[in-house]
A and B are shown apart, each in its own frame.
Chain A
Amino acid sequence: MGSALTLLFVVCFNFFLFRIVPSDPLAHMLRGRNISREVQDNLRAAFGLDQPITTQFVYYLRETFRGNLGISFHSRQPVWDEIVERIPATVELLGVSWLFAAVIGTAGGVIAGWRRNTWKDRLITSSTMTLYSVPDFWLGIILLTVFSVVLGWFPIGGMQSVGVRLQGFEAFLDHLRHLFLPALTLSLAYMGEYTMVTRSSLVEVMSEDYLTVARAKGLRDKVVRNHHALPNALLPVVTLAALNLGFILSGAIAVESVFSWPGLGQATAEAIRGPDYPMLQGLFLLFSASVILFNLIADLLYMYLDPRVEAS
C-alpha cells in the first residue's frame, strides 16, 4: 500500500519535474527545421500541447498507466519499445556484477570482521575505502586502457565482435570476453558496500552473550563462526543484496558508456546529449519504479528472515 502510494508520487513528480523550466517540446523535436506555422499548430494539437496543463496532466496519467511513455525525440519510436529493447543487456551485466560483488564483498567482510585489527582486516578495510573513493567509470577507463588498449587481452567495447560470424560456443566465448571488463569494474565498485556492512554486523554480533556461551562450550572457532555468528550477522547483508537488486537497471549509467554496452545506461547517456526529454522521463520512471519495488521486497524479506521485526 505504501509502495503504491510512493509509486503514484513518483509518477506525478515525473510530470512536473520536466516542466519546472518552461520550454517548448516541439522546438526541441523539430530542432530549428523550417516548418510552416500551420503544420506546427497541427502538431501541437496532435500532441495535446494546446491544452491547459491540468488536461495535459490527466492525459499523461492515463497514458502512463496504459504503458504509453510517449515518442522519443531522437529515434521517433515509442519510448517504451526503445527501453524494453535495452533491458536484457543491462540486466545481464548488472546481474553478473551484483552476484560477484555480493559473494566476494561478503567474504571479505567476514574475514575482516572475524579477525578484527589484524593485517588482513587492515588490508581489506583500506582497499575497500579506496575503491569507495574512485568514480566507477574512471576505474572502467583505467581497466579498459590497461587490459584492452595496452595489453590487448580484451575487446574495446560492445557486446560482441562486429564483422565476424561466430557460432555456438565460439560466439558465447566472444560474448564473455566482452562482458568481462565492465562486469569486473562494476563488481569492484559495488563490493565495498557488502564488505563494510558484513564487517560491522559481524563485529556487533561477536559481542553478544550467546557467542561467549558457544565458545565456552569448547566449540571450534570455525563452528562458532559458521553456525552461530554468521546466520545472524548476515541478515542485513541479505537485505542489502535485495535492495541493490533495485539498482539493477540504473546502476551502470556511466560505466555502460565507457564500455559502449548497449543497455539502459548508454540509452540514458545518449538521451542526455539530445536532450531527449520523453526518453529521460521514461527512464527516470522505470529506474524509480524498480527501486521502489525492491524496497518493498527487501522489507518483506527482512520480516520473513528475522521474526524479531514486526510488520510496521
Chain B
Amino acid sequence: MTVRSMTRSGAPGVSAAGSFWRQFRRSRQGMIGLAILVAFGILALVAPLIVDPAQFSPVVARTLGNPQWAPPSEFPPLGTDHLRRSVWAQFVWGSRVSLTVGLAATAVTMVIGTAVGVIAGYRGGRLDSFLMRITEWFLVIPFLPLAIALASVLGRSTRNIILVIGLTSWPWMARLIRSQVLTVKQRLFVDRARSLGAKSGHIIRNHILPNVSGLILANATLWVPISILSETTLSFLGLGNPGNPSWGKTLEEAFANGAMTRNAWWYFVPAGLGILTVVLAFTMVGRTLEEIADPKLGKER
C-alpha cells in the first residue's frame, strides 16, 4: 500500500526506493534478516526502560539482595554473575552498546571511505595516485594489531572504540567506491552535465553519488557485522569501556572471572548468541541489498 502511494508521488528518487523495496521484499533471506534486526533494534531502543545501568555497579547489585553465580533456574531469566548482577540486564544493555558501536563505527568508515574514494576517483591524476598510495599503505597494515595499538594509546572509552574501528577500516571502502566512481564517470550523462557547464560539486552530488548510493548502502550493511565483531574482540582484550558494557565486555568479564571453569554457561552463552544472531542478520540483509544493487551477483551465486 505504502509502496504504491510512494510510486504515484512521481519523484524519480522515491519510485526508485519503492522498486528497491519491492525487490527486497521478494527475498526470503533479506526479510528474515530484516525482521531479526528490527527486533534487536527495538530491544536496544527500549533498553533504558527495562534496565537501569546503575545495577551494573556491584554495590547496587549487593543491596538488591541478588544471589551470586545463580543459574537461570534460581534467578530467571538468565541468572547472575560473580558480582550478583543480572545477566539478562547485561544482555539487554549489551545489545544497545554493540549495535550503537557497530552502526557508528560503520558511519565513520563510510564517511572517510566515501570522501577519499569519490575525490580520488572523480579528480584522478596526481591527487588520485597520492590518495591511493596512502590507501594501499593502510591496507597492508593488519587490522587487529593496528586497532589494538590505537585503542591502547587513546584510552578505554566507547567513543574511542568507534573512532578506532572507523579509522582503521576506511581504506577498503575507499578503494571500492573509487572503482565505482570510475565506472560512473565514464557514462554519457556525466559528460553531458560537464559540457553544460555544471560544477564538480554539482556533478558529484547529483550524478555520481546517486549512482553509487545503492552499492554504498549494501557495503555499509555488510560492514556493520565486521564492526560489531571488531568491537567484540577489542572489548574482549580489555579495551572496552567497563561502565558501558557491550556484549564483548560481558564475554571479557565472564572469561576473566572464571565462568568457564565453573561451567556458568548462562554468563557467556547469551552474549555470544546475540552477536552471532545480529551479525548473521546484517550479513543476510547486506547480501540481499548487494544482489539488488548489482544484479550480476545474484545469478552467479
Chain A residues close to B by CB (< 8 Å): 6, 9-10, 13, 17-18, 20-21, 129-130, 132-135, 137-138, 141-142, 144-145, 149-150, 156, 200, 203-204, 246-247, 250, 253-254, 257-258, 268-269, 272-273, 275, 277, 280-281, 283-284, 287-288, 291-292, 295
Q: Are B142 and A291 in contact (CB under 8 A)?
A: yes
A-B interface pairs (CB < 8 A), number: 126
- 18 A-B residue pairs with Cβ-Cβ distance under 8 Å, sorted by A, are A9-B137, A18-B149, A21-B153, A21-B155, A129-B280, A130-B280, A135-B229, A135-B251, A135-B272, A142-B269, A275-B152, A277-B152, A280-B148, A280-B149, A283-B145, A284-B149, A287-B142, A288-B141
Q: What separation, in Å, do the CA atoms of A228 and B154 have in the docked complex? A: 53
- Contacts A133-B225, A150-B263; A10 near B141 (Cβ below 8 A): yes
- For B275, give the chain A residue with the smallest CB separation: A135
Instruction: Give the residues in chain B near A129, CB-CB below 8 Å.
Output: 280, 283
Instruction: Give the residues in chain A near B276, CB-CB below 8 Å.
Output: 130, 133-134
Which segment of B15-23, B41-49, B211-219, B232-240 sits at the interface?
B232-240
Q: For the complex, is B223 an interface residue (Cβ under 8 Å from A)?
A: no
Contact flags B143-157 to A (C-beta < 8 A → 1, else 0): 011101110111100
Q: What separation, in Å, do the CA atoms of A161 and B233 have in the docked complex? A: 28
Q: Are A17 and B142 in contact (CB under 8 A)?
A: no
- Contacts A129-B283, A280-B148, A280-B149; A135 near B232 (Cβ below 8 A): yes
Q: For the complex, is B186 an interface residue (Cβ under 8 Å from A)?
A: no
**Which residues of B, 240-263, contact A by the 8 Å Cβ criterion?**
248, 251, 254-255, 260-261, 263
Instruction: Give the residues in chain B near A142, CB-CB below 8 Å.
Output: 269, 272
A-B pairs with lowest CB-CB distance, top 3:
A133-B279, A138-B272, A287-B145
Q: Are A291 and B140 in contact (CB under 8 A)?
A: yes
Q: What separation, in Å, do the CA atoms of A150 and B264 have in the docked complex? A: 11
Instruction: Give the residues in chain B near A269, CB-CB below 8 Å.
Output: 237-238
- For A137, give the chain B residue with the smallest CB separation: B236
Q: For the complex, is B24 an interface residue (Cβ under 8 Å from A)?
A: no
Q: Are A204 and B300 in contact (CB under 8 A)?
A: yes
Contact flags B111-154 to A (C-beta < 8 A → 1, else 0): 00000000000000000000000001100111011101110111
Instruction: Give the residues in chain A near B141, CB-CB below 8 Å.
Output: 10, 13, 288, 291
Which residue of B148, B237, B300 is within 8 Å of A200 (Cβ)?
A: B300
Instruction: Give the residues in chain B near A273, CB-CB below 8 Å.
Output: 238
- Contacts A17-B153, A130-B280, A133-B279; A250 near B144 (Cβ below 8 A): yes
Contact flags B201-220 to A (C-beta < 8 A → 1, else 0): 00000000000000000000
Q: Are B283 and A254 in contact (CB under 8 A)?
A: no
- For A203, give the chain B residue with the smallest CB separation: B300
- Contacts A138-B275, A149-B263; A247 near B142 (Cβ below 8 A): yes
Q: Are A144 and B153 in contact (CB under 8 A)?
A: no
The SS class assigned to the A binding surface is helix
Q: How far is the CB of B130 from chain A (nearest CB, A)?
A: 13
Q: For the complex, is B40 an interface residue (Cβ under 8 Å from A)?
A: no
Instruction: Give the residues in chain A near B236, CB-CB below 8 Å.
Output: 135, 137, 254, 257
Q: What separation, in Å, do the CA atoms of A150 and B248 have in the docked complex? A: 24
Instruction: Give the residues in chain A near B251, CB-CB below 8 Å.
Output: 135, 137-138, 141
- Contacts A21-B154, A138-B268, A258-B255; A284 near B275 (Cβ below 8 A): no
- Contacts A150-B263, A250-B144, A253-B148; A272 near B233 (Cβ below 8 A): no
Q: How far is the CB of A36 from chain B (nearest CB, A)?
A: 29
Q: What separation, in Å, do the CA atoms of A134 and B232 have in the docked complex? A: 10
Which residue of A141, A254, A272, A280 is within 8 Å of B268 (Cβ)?
A: A141
Which residue of A13, A133, A200, A280 is within 8 Å of B280 (Cβ)?
A: A133
Instruction: Give the residues in chain A near B254, CB-CB below 8 Å.
Output: 141
Q: For the complex, is B172 an interface residue (Cβ under 8 Å from A)?
A: no
Q: For the complex, is B265 an interface residue (Cβ under 8 Å from A)?
A: yes
Instruction: Give the residues in chain B near A145, CB-CB below 8 Å.
Output: 260, 263, 265, 268
9 more A-B contacts (CB under 8 A) besides A134-B275, A141-B268? A17-B150, A135-B236, A138-B232, A142-B269, A247-B142, A254-B233, A258-B255, A275-B152, A288-B142
Q: What separation, in Å, do the CA atoms of A134 and B251 have in the docked complex? A: 13
Q: Are B238 and A18 in contact (CB under 8 A)?
A: no
- For B300, give the chain A residue with the smallest CB separation: A203
Q: Are B260 and A149 in contact (CB under 8 A)?
A: yes
Which residue of B144, B261, B279 is within 8 Å of A253 (Cβ)?
A: B144
Instruction: Give the residues in chain B near A257, CB-CB below 8 Å.
Output: 236-237, 255
Which residue of B144, B261, B275 is within 8 Å of A156 (Cβ)?
A: B261
Instruction: Give the residues in chain A near B225, CB-CB below 8 Å.
Output: 133
Q: Are A20 and B149 in contact (CB under 8 A)?
A: no
Q: Are A295 and B140 in contact (CB under 8 A)?
A: yes
Instruction: Give the residues in chain A near B142, CB-CB below 8 Å.
Output: 246-247, 250, 287-288, 291
Instruction: Give the residues in chain B near A247, CB-CB below 8 Å.
Output: 142
Q: What separation, in Å, do the CA atoms of A250 and B148 have in the docked complex? A: 11
- Contacts A133-B283, A272-B152; A141 near B239 (Cβ below 8 A): no
- For A247, give the chain B residue with the smallest CB separation: B142
Instruction: Give the residues in chain A near B283, CB-CB below 8 Å.
Output: 129, 132-133
